[in-house]
Amino acid sequence: MTRQLILERAVKEIKDGMCVNLGIGMPTLIANMIPNDFNVMLQSENGLLGIGPYPQKDEVDPDLINAGKETVTAKAGASFFDSAESFAMIRGGHIDLAILGGMEVSENGDLANWMIPGKMVKGMGGAMDLVQGAKRIVVIMDHVNKHGESKVKKSCTLPLTGEKVVHCLITELAVFQFTDAGMELIELQSGVSLDEVKSKTEADFTISPSIEIKA
């Protein structure tokens, strides 16, 4: 239910006509949630523009995968190309929106999402290019880690993917936006109180006047 809450809110960031990159992990699930009447092109850094929903069992093609090595489908009109072409697309500013997972986000919009020191990592993937090249960066993640510690930090403690790159952060508790003025709470998830968000957020943030604070 926590994951579903985050994903449903993240889908609202996608607008008709966008070219969107979905990061590995939870963001890839969004491919199955985009409204059918939206003309959205999903891009994968391994060389596919026009990703469709996850395949049914009889549709699985082991050679058709996304950047997370998951089998996918291709929409009518999809394009296939090498990874160099794909990264040129990203670095050239042609991706309207990237939705990425996160390990930590700081109050000034820094993102850490590619490694934990001392743990095996296959590679940094395309995240460092995406946070610099995509026009808008949305991060989705749990608000606290498995030890109950806030992942929304004053300063990231893990190696950074990018500095001041996050535009919007969505967790199971709240939605924040990042501007030159800092980090602002713009939405509370259903059933969540402001006090709970404050108690589980290490970062300093302002509160949008549009939020209705329940007594």
Q: Rounded to whole angstroms, what are the CA distances from 144 to 149, 171, 173, 193?
A: 5, 9, 10, 16
The beta-carbon contacts of 159-162 under 8 Å, at least 24 apart in sequence, are: 159/112, 159/114, 159/115, 159/117, 160/110, 160/111, 160/112, 161/111, 161/112, 161/113, 161/114, 161/124, 161/127, 161/128, 161/131, 162/110, 162/111, 162/127, 162/128, 162/131, 162/132
R_g of the chain computed on alpha carbons: 17
Dihedrals φ, ψ of 73, to 5°? -110, 165
Q: Which is the catalytic residue, given 13, 45, 104, 107?
A: 45
Dihedrals φ, ψ of 99, to 5°? -110, 115
Let me know if 163 is a catalytic residue. Answer: no
Q: What residues are labeled active site?
A: 45
